[in-house]
Amino acid sequence: MLPDWPRALGQPMVSGLLKAEPKDFVVEEVFDVEFSNDGEFDWLWIEKCGDNTEYLAKQLARLAGVQPRAVTYSGQKDRHAVTRQWFCVHLPGKHKPEWRVPENETWQILRQGRHRQKLRLGSHRYNRFILRLSELKGDIDDLESRLAFVRQGFPNYFGEQRFGHGGGNIAACRQWFAGELSPGRFDRGMYLSAARSLIFNTVLAQRVDDASWNQGLDGDVFSLRDSASVFLADIDADIIARLAVADIHPTGPLYGKAAKLGVDGVVADLEERIYAEFSDLCAGLMKNNLAMERRALRVVPKDLQWKYAEDDSLSLAFSLPRGCFATALVRELINY
């Protein structure tokens, strides 16, 4: 089982349901595409419900008569949700397929176009979410104060879906690292991501516990808001001011081989203690030659809006940078 990582404001005083049905959780990629109307790549804007991204990629490969590796996408999307995202099919020297969706499938093609460029992993910058939290019970004033709080930023935890049901991806990862499992390429990537995410979340949980997840500590590496750019800096008046307006964020580790830009001081001590706690995962990650990366400890939602309904539900709309989880925002608001 996964830990119940600490929340910035402690346990919420409202309970409710998230995803009572798939249409309560809608996510789409924010992605501006200009088609060239020629080239070897067919881009498809697809809405799906009940299927994971990898399954749909294989379906498209089958319909186009190509190998699965010829189908690419920018990011994985939740199975139990309504999702809209781009897929790309490499069709060198082939005419565009008719793309007839088989009967009884739960996906549809909303838009398509020809492009000279391949869609690569991580190409989109943001995801837009529209959520409905239902059957709310408890102190609505507490919920309202939490909504105002998360508008300024919330702990950037990896969501529970990263770890599989009951944390199963972590258990499988440990079996793989111990030589007891031989996963395929896709599963290997999933297990490596889960291991790095567990280490990151544990570091972030410690920073939430000591109220430094949105503050600078001696030795911190900082990231620019909504950017992968990172830098090491001493804590001075300028850094404190930039942290206060969320222009920059402290970061935590995506574990791997040491980067040139590393943490120092009390931050290094904290992170090393957690690496020791997960020594088996760290050893396996090193063996797989992953490079150390940094991820912001805080994320600020864009254009957060909310509206209550008479049926004791709350609708939310907001955007998050790619790789950030809407469930990390929701867990700060309610128990679900």
Distance CA 317, CA 18 (A): 14
**Is 264 known to be catalytic?**
no
- The tokens for 299 are 């994320």
Element (H, E) at 48: strand 41-49
For strands 25-30 and 82-90, give the pairing: parallel
SS3 call for 86: strand
Residue among 24, 42, 78, 220 flagged as catalytic: 78
Strands of the sheet containing 221-224, edge to edge, are 230-232, 221-224, 248-254, 293-296
SS3 call for 249: strand
Backbone φ and ψ of 140, nearest 5°: -65, -30
Distance CA 267, CA 269 (A): 5
Distance CA 190, CA 161 (A): 11
Is the Cβ–Cβ distance between 154 and 296 less than 8 Å? no
Where do we find the tokens 């109220």? 211
SS3 call for 14: strand
CA atoms within 13 Å, Cβ hemisphere of 279:
3
Where do we find the tokens 């040491």? 258
**Catalytic center residues:** 78
